[in-house]
Amino acid sequence: MAPDAVALRRPFPVGTRGLVLLGLFGAGVWALCALDLGLGQLVPGSGGLLVAQRFFGRALSPAVDWEGAFVPPGAPAFLVDALEAAWTTIVVAAAAMGLSLVLGLGLGFLASTAWWADEPARGRSGWRGLLRRFVAPALYGAVRILIGCMRSVHELLWAVLFLAAIGFNPLTAVLAIAIPFGGTLAKVFGEMVDEAPRDTARAMRAAGAAPLQVYFFGLVPRALPDMTAYAFYRFECAVRSAAIMGFFGIATLGSRIQQSFLATNYGEVWTYLYLTFLLVAVLDLWSGALRRRVVA
Amino acid sequence: MTTHERLVEDLYRRRPRSRFVRLSAAALVVLAIGAWFVGDFPVADLLSNASGEHLSDFAERVVPQPVRGRAFDGGVVLAWAGDLMRTKGWTAAGRTFAISLAAILLAALAGLVLCLPAARTFATPEPFLPGASAPGRLTRLAWTVVRVGVRTFLVFLRSIPEDVWAFLLFGILGANAWPAVLALALHNAGILGKLGAEVVENLPPAPLRALRGLGARRTQVAAAGVFPAALPRFLLYFFYRWETCVREATVLGMLGILSLGTWITDARHRLHYDELVFWILVGAAIVLVGDLLSTILRGAVRRAS
């Protein structure tokens, strides 16, 4: 064998990336088998086909007026009603955002390490040292677990829980969204502050600032633009979740989509879908512009 | 003014700030507080007697059925939970994972295709080598239309929540797993397509420009330059979205597609709140396992690249 051939010999033909890709392929095959997914099922039955035709046929001609034969007397014009549903969606999302921002900022502080972990060795005695060495880490661990629990239960499952425990109304919808969102915000906010540039913090500490002063005036302001951009992204998600909560009966876009689809008023469904799209698209553009501003 | 003070003054003037960011933050705060005054939220009802009664009723039913009304026995509760898992739980958990996997793989395939025409560097008359030729105004316009069209389509896909897609598709495709899989796939294709387009736009340009300069066609640059270079980031986003898919898959069963959500709805309708809470905890466990797996795999991908 020529020496060149040895030099050119490749390592094992598949690297880590290749293994991951192969694994994904295998997982996909397993999933298709586990779910008995056949391509045949993708072709709707005759009833489904009719629904599909009539539904997608209205994609480009959304309704501008009530479509049902019966319109309850005193009902507002269709578009006014649709805008009302959109407004309710925004209000529920914003209220949930308010609550989860409070939760996120409060728990986010406890879920960050910057205000106790990288303090220098000075002041290791007395109650401050005790606080820093034992109380703060314990609190950090406990809050991390709490955040994990809040986040890992889906907002719709929180909604089901509230529905069972105290009944469902706009307020419980807000709580159902705010709990998992608060957990997510806390996790991300805490990590953003921990990853903020430390130059200011170091300078302040050298000048004799107390740990909390360093945290709130040296670290949080550095992370604030990032946090704003992320909060906007979560607001976008909150709007989607608020729309979904309509499936449980509050007057957001989800309830209208459900009612109109079941009543086979497909044009109305498309109007609601496009309204959801508009709401989300505006927030998406806004948060995109924010992120560009932050990066620049 | 001493030099010192002037320096501080200078630093203060050059502090990073943006009116847009500050106005946006203010708008968010105003909205978040204002909503509580505008909206009709029955805060008083929450603390009323009726909801207290409701709650105590719930608290009674939430105690696992075999130990309700008698002394708590850990062994009995464990046997009860084990039985639930054997009869329903493991299958439902497996199907939940399967739904999330099938959906995210479909979404990734769609995202791979859609990210190219949505990327500013690719959807131009001269991909990766601007200024190589002087394209006509019409060609430029055509590419802009394609790019804006694909981007709008992606926003539309992701702006409609998964559950709405699932509800609509359920009405069309009937009771099998496809509505859940397709719903998750549609929503996530919108997200992965957008994130993918950003990855493509931020790739180091030199290798792509070189390929193009050597005469590679658009598709050849994509196959030989874009995809290999973008794969690690694609995989990171893929796993990050998979976590969300697992979360969503636990609830999509509520529509009647057999997964964890089915048993949650079932327990709610039978007022078996002990089972309801048990299934919700199983759902949380599934999500945590998914997060853990995804974190491990993302770490592996990051180390390999």
B41 assigned to some structural domain: no
Q: What range defines the domain where residue B294 resides?
A: 67-304
- % of chain A exceeding 90 in pLDDT: 19
Question: How near does any CA of chain B get to the CA of A158, in Å?
Answer: 9
Between residues A202 and B44, the one the model is more confident about: A202
Write down the pLDDT at residue B123: 82
**The two three-digit tokens of residue B117, written as one number:** 């025409």
State how far the Cα of A207 lies from the Cα of A184, in Å rounded to an integer.
34
Average pLDDT over residues A234-239: 92
State how far the Cα of A51 lies from the Cα of A61, in Å rounded to an integer.
16
Amino acid at A66: W
Find the range with the poorest average confidence among A178-192, B59-73, B81-95, B201-215. Answer: B59-73
In chain B, the number of structural domains is 1
Residue with the two structure tokens 């309830």: A255
**The two three-digit tokens of residue A9, written as one number:** 């010999």
DSSP code for B194: H
Residue A194 pLDDT > 70, yes or no? yes
Other CB atoms within a 10 A radius of the CB of residue B224 amount to 14
B176 closest CB neighbour out of A41, A55, A167:
A41
**The two three-digit tokens of residue A294, written as one number:** 């932050």
Residue B219 pLDDT > 60, yes or no? yes
Amino acid at B4: H
Find the range with the poorest average confidence among A43-52, A189-198, B266-275. Answer: A43-52
Q: Look at B39 and A91 and tell me if their CB atoms are within 8 Å.
A: yes
Between residues A98 and A166, the one the model is more confident about: A98
**The two three-digit tokens of residue A15, written as one number:** 């690297």
Taking all residues of chain B, what is their mean pLDDT, rounded to a whole number? 84
Write down the pLDDT at residue A182: 94
Residue B288 pLDDT > 70, yes or no? yes
Residue A180 pLDDT > 90, yes or no? yes
State how far the Cα of B171 lies from the Cα of B180, in Å rounded to an integer.
12
Kindly report the CATH number assigned to the domain that includes residue B91.
Answer: 1.10.3720.10
Nearest to A241 by CA among A281, A181, A153: A181
Average pLDDT over residues B111-116: 92
Between residues B169 and B59, the one the model is more confident about: B169
Q: What share of chain B is helix, strand, coil (3-state, %, to 5)?
A: 80, 0, 20
Q: Look at B98 and A232 and tell me if their CB atoms are within 8 Å.
A: no
Residues 215-234 in A contacting B (C-alpha not used; CB under 8 Å):
224-225, 228-229, 231-232
Q: Look at A276 and B172 and tell me if their CB atoms are within 8 Å.
A: no
Question: How near does any CA of chain A get to the CA of B140, in Å?
Answer: 24
What is the complex's ipTM, to 2 decimals? 0.81
Nearest CA in chain A to B243: A152
Distance of CA B113 to CAs A25, B170, B192, Å? 17, 26, 10
Q: Look at B20 and A293 and tell me if their CB atoms are within 8 Å.
A: yes
Q: Is B66 within 8 Å of B76 (Cβ atoms)?
A: yes
Q: Is B298 within 8 Å of B240 (Cβ atoms)?
A: yes
Q: DSSP string covering B79-130, please?
A: HHHHHHIIIIIHHHHHHHHHHHHHHHHHHHHHHHHHHHHH-TTTSSSSTT-T
State how far the Cα of A228 lies from the Cα of A291, in Å rounded to an integer.
9
Choose, out of A171, A264, A283, A291, the residue to mutate when testing the contact with B (most B CBs < 10 Å). Answer: A171
State how far the Cα of B70 lies from the Cα of B66, in Å rounded to an integer.
9
B171 closest CB neighbour out of A51, A90, A101:
A51
Write down the pLDDT at residue A1: 44
Average pLDDT over residues B26-38: 88
List, for residues B117-147, the tens digit of each pLDDT value. 998 888 888 787 777 677 788 888 888 899 9
* Domain boundaries defined on chain A: 13-42, 78-295
Give a three-class secondary structure readout of A73-126: CCCCCHHHHHHHHHHHHHHHHHHHHHHHHHHHHHHHHHCCCCCCCCCCCCCCCH
Write down the pLDDT at residue A181: 94
Question: How near does any CA of chain B get to the CA of A201, in Å?
Answer: 15
Residue A3 pLDDT > 60, yes or no? no
A91 closest CB neighbour out of B18, B38, B265:
B38
B24 assigned to some structural domain: no
Q: Look at A161 and B176 and tell me if their CB atoms are within 8 Å.
A: no
Residue A128 pLDDT > 90, yes or no? no
Write down the pLDDT at residue A184: 92
Residue B78 pLDDT > 90, yes or no? no
B285 assigned to some structural domain: yes
B246 assigned to some structural domain: yes
Check whether domain A78-295 has CATH 1.10.3720.10, yes or no:
yes
**The two three-digit tokens of residue B224, written as one number:** 């030989």
List, for residues A251-294, the tens digit of each pLDDT value. 889 888 888 888 888 888 899 999 999 998 898 888 888 877 76
- pTM score: 0.84
List, for residues A131-164, the tens digit of each pLDDT value. 777 888 888 889 988 998 888 888 888 888 888 8
Q: Look at B159 and A277 and tell me if their CB atoms are within 8 Å.
A: yes
Average pLDDT over residues B172-195: 88
List, for residues A40-77, the tens digit of each pLDDT value. 777 777 777 888 888 888 878 787 777 777 777 777 78
Residue A2 pLDDT > 60, yes or no? no
Write down the pLDDT at residue A215: 85
Write down the pLDDT at residue A124: 59
B54 closest CB neighbour out of A97, A167, A281:
A167
Label residue A123 by pLDDT band (50, 70, 90).
low
Nearest to B234 by CA among B204, B205, B191: B191
B234 assigned to some structural domain: yes
Question: How near does any CA of chain B get to the CA of A2, in Å?
Answer: 30
Q: Look at B235 and A16 and tell me if their CB atoms are within 8 Å.
A: no
B30 assigned to some structural domain: no
Choose, out of B57, B165, B172, the residue to mutate when testing the contact with A (most A CBs < 10 Å). Answer: B172
Q: Does A62 touch chain B (CB under 8 A)?
A: no
Max Cα-Cα span within chain A: 92
Taking all residues of chain A, what is their mean pLDDT, rounded to a whole number? 82
State how far the Cα of B56 lies from the Cα of B269, in Å rounded to an integer.
19
Between residues B249 and B305, the one the model is more confident about: B249
Label residue B279 by pLDDT band (50, 70, 90).
confident
State how far the Cα of A17 lies from the Cα of B230, in Å rounded to an integer.
12
Residue A10: which residues within 8 A CB-CB, separation 6 or more? none
**The two three-digit tokens of residue B238, written as one number:** 């893929």
Residue A114 pLDDT > 90, yes or no? no
A20 closest CB neighbour out of B155, B158, B301:
B301
Average pLDDT over residues A203-227: 84
**The two three-digit tokens of residue B104, written as one number:** 């995210």
* Residues on chain A touching B159 (C-beta within 8 angstroms): 240, 276-277, 279-281, 284
Nearest CA in chain B to A164: B58
Residue A102 pLDDT > 90, yes or no? yes
* DSSP H/E element including B36: helix B19-38
Write down the pLDDT at residue A186: 93
